Amino acid sequence: MQGRQAVRRIATVLVLAGCILLAGTPARATNLVQSQPSSPLSKALRQLVTLPDGPPGAIALVQVGDRLEVSTAGVADVGADDPIAVQDTARIASVSKAFSGAVALSLVTEGDLKLSDTIGHRLPGLPKAWYPVTLAQLLDHTGRLPDYIKSPAFLDVLKANPLIHLTPLQLLGFVANTGLVPGHGYDYSDSDNIVVGLMIEAVTGKPYEAALADEVTNPSHLARTSLPSDVRLPTPYVHGYDVTPGVPPLDVSMFLNPALAWASGGMLSTPSELNKFMRAYVRGAFTSAATRKKQFTFVAGNSGPPGPGTNAAGLGIFRYRTSCGTVYGHTGNFPGYTIFAAATSDGRRSMEVIINEQLNDHPVTPAFTLLRRIDGMAVCAAMDS
């Protein structure tokens, strides 16, 4: 009964929103250190995992230059005693959107795509009402495509069989005939990055997964970062949980087929590799200076879930203005996981928080409130070092 109730609850509230070694770049050793138990970030993580609605485990990474400080609390697996480690695989949810952004912007830099390319030009098989929406609007969520994960029909399918495999076109099919007409203004939609993935396939002539490897993960030597085709997780991995106060946490690590999120939220990575990617991505490793300037043009809008401070959306990236400074990155959540990863514009300072529970701002819970404060503390720890 507990499992069926968790399936229904997760399906109803599902939000998928939500020092890199590049070829030719000399490798620099990272000095990894464990944070002091008395540090404010360590204390806050321990407080988080002891809350009735808090996650079983949490990890925070703060890197300044070559010094990477790691803070942990709780466990990666409730059946063991080990904390989450920097090499453990985790589902990175909507932080996958930063990767699809990196691929698209790399192709823009190479001349294969243009930010002004429209859905009608690149994907004429999609609804005609969507034709005017450009790649740039997809990347900053201002095309206002209807979000397939909010479709009652999609949620019904998900509740009936969360392991079902649906193609990207089938996902978009849930909102193809909604009668909604895209417009202007920010509106976070997982449909956007599904379309970005399809545009990438259209111009490269290869599966999105192959383009992702060619443009980002292979040249960046991200060996444990991928977009899987099934629910299996390579070991060691962070177990994800559905947490209900008063009952044991339910392992939902393999609850949902990642194909149901695809280029929008289906990826895997490790804390260390995600940190490496984000440092490179934010500093412009995958784009030209001209493309990066356009990427760093922002409109008001929260990432999903909201990140620390005041959020604004750029092209495949969010800006987070906090009391300690401004950083750029992405957030995400998925059944069993919530992630925040960001860096300063020069990529020298980075911060990341991963927990093994899905938390978001609807409803706002004590655990989510503390988690968002922890995200801000991670920013401050990086900026104050």
- pLDDT at residue 21 greater than cutoff 70: no
What number of CA atoms fall less than 13 Å from residue 369's CA on the CB side? 6
Q: What is the pLDDT of residues 306-356, one digit of tens each?
A: 999 999 999 999 999 999 999 999 999 999 999 999 999 999 999 999 999
Strands (E), the chain: 31-34, 57-64, 67-74, 90-91, 241-242, 250-251, 268-269, 299-300, 310-313, 318-322, 325-334, 337-343, 349-355
What is the dihedral angle through the alpha carbons of 146, 339, 84, 57, rounded to the nearest 10 degrees?
-90
Q: What is the pLDDT of residues 269-291, one digit of tens each?
A: 999 999 999 999 999 999 999 99
pLDDT interval class at 172 (50, 70, 90) = very high
pLDDT interval class at 184 (50, 70, 90) = confident
- pLDDT at residue 8 greater than cutoff 80: no
User: Domain range for residue 158?
Assistant: 2-384
Give the pLDDT score at 30: 87
β-pair partners for 357: 241
Q: What is the pLDDT of residues 85-100, one digit of tens each?
A: 999 999 999 999 999 9
DSSP 49-108: HHSTTS-SEEEEEEEETTEEEEEEEE-S-TTS-PPP-TT-BEE-GGGHHHHHHHHHHHHH
Mean pLDDT, residues 13-20 taken together? 36
pLDDT interval class at 28 (50, 70, 90) = low
- pLDDT at residue 27 greater than cutoff 60: no
- pLDDT at residue 17 greater than cutoff 80: no
Mean pLDDT, residues 3-12 taken together? 42
Q: To 5 degrees, how large is the angle CA 49–CA 163–CA 262?
A: 80
- pLDDT at residue 196 greater than cutoff 70: yes
Q: What is the pLDDT of residues 229-285, one digit of tens each?
A: 999 999 999 999 999 999 999 999 999 999 999 999 999 999 999 999 999 999 999
Q: What is the pLDDT of residues 56-81, one digit of tens each?
A: 999 999 999 999 999 999 999 999 99
Number of domains in the chain: 1
Higher pLDDT, 3 or 232: 232
- pLDDT at residue 29 greater than cutoff 80: no
Higher pLDDT, 315 or 178: 315
**Top mean-pLDDT range of 17-31, 177-191, 212-226:** 212-226
Burial class (CB in 10 A: 0-12, 13-18, 19+), 207: middle
Does the global pTM surpass 0.95? no
Give the pLDDT score at 289: 98
Q: How far apart are CA 235 and CA 260, in angstroms?
A: 22
Nearest residue to 353 (alpha-carbon basis) of 335, 330, 324, 334: 330
The secondary structure element, H or E, covering residue 192 is helix 190-204
The secondary structure element, H or E, covering residue 43 is helix 40-50
What is the average pLDDT value for the chain, to the nearest integer? 93
pLDDT cut 90: percent of the chain above it: 90
Q: How far apart are CA 295 and CA 74, in angstroms?
A: 37
- pLDDT at residue 6 greater than cutoff 70: no
- CATH (domain of 313): 3.40.710.10
Residue corresponding to tokens 């490269």: 204
Q: How far apart are CA 21 and CA 27, in angstroms?
A: 6
pLDDT interval class at 133 (50, 70, 90) = very high
